[in-house]
Amino acid sequence: MPMSTLTNGELNALVSLLDDTDNEVRNHVRERIISLGTEIIPFLEEKWENSFNPEIQKEIEELVHDLQFSLLKRRLIQWRDSEDRDLLTGLWIINTYQYPDLEYEKLNAEMHQIYFEVWTAFKNDLPPYDQIRIINNVLFNNLRFSANTKNFHSPANSMLSAVLDSKKGNPLSLCAIYLLVGKKLGLPVYGVNLPNLFVLTYKTESLTFYINAFNKGLIFSKQDIYNYLEHLKLDPKEEYFEPCAYLQILLRTLRNLGNSFEKLGEMEKVEEIKELIEILQA
């Protein structure tokens, strides 16, 4: 039933029943409110602000979260089923888990500003290594992006908007920013799913090298990956050297987020992140 078919009085009556002592009544009311969809959220938020009943406030908070989480899941399914699986769109959808009011346009505008800063310093006629050094200089010296080593396991490291605000991130989020800029510049830059570390590769038919955005864009070789894997006592698999799909980047972002919430003991959030992972793996 659309929200527009209910009067304010009927909506108020529904919300007032959220602390009913009868569980059956309360569950029926919850289902009825959820069936109205996300357009009821502003009304619920207003009721929360004007309520002096902590029980009703708690119920409203859970309802709003459930509605927002349902919207996130629908968006994630649409992203999974889309042809291009745009990286920024996917990262924005995950971002709305923690920041449900974040608009895609805001994130896109911030990323465009970073791209513009790099583009103004960029030269297309330079050799690849020099082009990468220009990007490194702008991102890590001028704009001062850096590794968040103090709070490595913070959920904020998996939220692109938070990384853009703090200029600190984990290997994956810093690589994502680098990758989005590189792609917009038309460079053959891709993500690489290494164990315990996410890196980038610059890959053409005649040239392949790797970039560690967590270490200020350090350039390294295929042999360095062999050495790294040997140090971890892992067999070299093809996927440790080759570009990965954007779907893999989103899955790894969600796994990082799940690990962050687990370390914080927020097990309800861990279960919700598992739901999102299942959607992408379907």
- Residue 28 pLDDT greater than 90, yes or no: no
DSSP state of 208: E
% of the chain at pLDDT higher than 90? 77
Of 237, 236, 212, which is closest to residue 226 (Cα–Cα)? 236
Here the tokens at position 77 are: 């399914």
Beta bridge partners of 197: 194
Q: What is this structure's pTM? A: 0.90
β-pairing verdict for 189-194 and 197-203: antiparallel
What mean pLDDT value characterizes the chain?
Answer: 93
Here the tokens at position 142 are: 């001028």
* List of residues 6+ apart from 54 with CB closer than 8 A: none
Of 229, 107, 256, which is closest to residue 173 (Cα–Cα)? 256
Which pLDDT band holds residue 19 (cuts at 50, 70, 90)?
Answer: confident
- Residue 1 pLDDT greater than 60, yes or no: no
Instruction: Please write the tens of the pLDDT for every residue from 112-122.
Output: 999 999 999 99
Domain spans of the chain, in order of start = 3-81, 87-281
Which pLDDT band holds residue 5 (cuts at 50, 70, 90)?
Answer: low
Beta bridge partners of 140: none
Give me the pLDDT at residue 3, please: 54
